[in-house]
Amino acid sequence: MDMTTTLDHGYLFGIILLGLISIASLYPQGFSFKLFRIVLVFSIASIIMSFAVTGYVYRYMVIAYSLIMLTFSIYSTSVLFKTYPNNKKEATLSLVSLLLLITTSVNDLLLHENVIQTVSLVPLGVLIFVFAQSSILFYRFTKSSIHSSDAFSQLEAYERFVPNEFIRNMNKKNIVDVKLGDNTEKKMSILFSDMRNFTALSEIMTPEENFKFLNTYLTVMGPVIKSHHGFIDKYMGDAIMALFDTNADDSLRSAIEMLRKLVEYNKGRERAKYVPINIGIGINTGSLRIGIIGEHDRMEATVISDAVNTASRIEGITKKYGVPLLISGATYTALEDTSQYKMRRIGMVRVKGKEKWTPIWEVFDADTPDSIKHKLELKPIFDEAISMYESKQFEKAYNLFQNCHIRNPHDKPAKYFIDKCWVNMNRKDNNEGAGIARRIIYERSDDDFDV
């Protein structure tokens, strides 16, 4: 037998082997890889030996190899039949293309042995087989891409409930990696905002109107927080709790812009003949634990810290001072440059149940131009009045606060401290009954803070 015939046979054996390898790779779950490795080793050895032996030895080897390939082809066909119920299109295409490849290879093998008189069909068989396998791979890739897209869409949907920033702060890649009890410590600024008189507003609206109103309002405020690198931890009806893991300035700038957006929002409400709304915002900065609480069937992302409670309490005290924005001393200290904001220290407060007093600052960048002008002009007098009040020189403080209020009647903190000074001044009177009565009224109005 000449070398050309030997090369042809080796070529045909190789084509059949590659075809079977391709089928096995597409359907690995149905093949015995131990048997596959034996056939693979024997096939490679046979192809190599086909170039070294001649005569009867070569013919017997060809017969043996053909029988092995036939047996393995039948085995591969049976695997395809097993997968047929679950993958009808793929299995049918693979089976037809494999049988066609084997048929054309056997045809060329017999042609080269002068057993039959036909034409070479292997190129056609290879072309059809490659096209069939490529089609299957393309189908699987497309299907996988669709599933990946669906999975990505689901992750995006989950992130609407649990912000990606929340997951990132727990050092997780996505929500799938989160498990009950995961938590870590972070230093953040916490922003609480709450709508004034929401209960009274909601009573004159239907439940459906309430939902629409809240969603309209939150749609205005949510993007402001996000644009300043914050994320909303939770909505509590009309209230918002947001976290800022970058710096304190982001939280304060966000609060100022929220108040400015509120002015625009109220203009729209007035045009629609609706009552304008007011909000209060409190900001505190400190360490907190961020993590997952609950039980295995119902988990929730949350933050737990005394700093969170303080932020909430500071928001509450904005009602007492009659101002829309207060920040804690911790936030004030964490600001990069306090001179870029319009603010004044408004005293010291102590959260109910705590021993430590916390300095509070009013930020009035979002006030009206007239209000900003008057507060800046009177700031030295107001600062001195606060110092007098804290040193318990109530009469001096009273006169200074009166001066501020007369020159700026819209300065609600000045009016608040005038009343406080008056209460404390009257405690010195001999008429203790009147002093005690005033003190009871004062303490009931300040149930969360000592001021």
Whole-angstrom distance, CA of residue 191 vs CA of residue 351: 17
Among residues 137, 179, 173, 175, the alpha carbon closest in space to that of 156 is found at 175
**Residues carrying CATH 3.30.70.1230, the chain:** 164-367
The pLDDT of residue 65 is 57
Q: Is the pLDDT of residue 319 over 50?
A: yes
User: For position 128, what pLDDT does the model report?
Assistant: 76
How many residues can be counted in the chain? 451
> Which residue did the predictor score with more confidence, 195 or 444?
195
Confidence label for 53 from pLDDT (cuts 50, 70 and 90): low
The residue ranking higher by pLDDT, 102 or 72, is 102
Instruction: With beta carbons less than 8 A apart as the criterion, state whether 170 and 178 touch.
Output: yes
Fold category of 164-367 in CATH: Alpha-Beta Plaits (3.30.70)
Q: Can you tell me the distance from the alpha carbon of 182 to that of 244, in angstroms, rounded to the nearest whole number?
A: 20
pLDDT at 440 over 50: no
CA torsion angle 77 82 86 88 (round to 10): 30
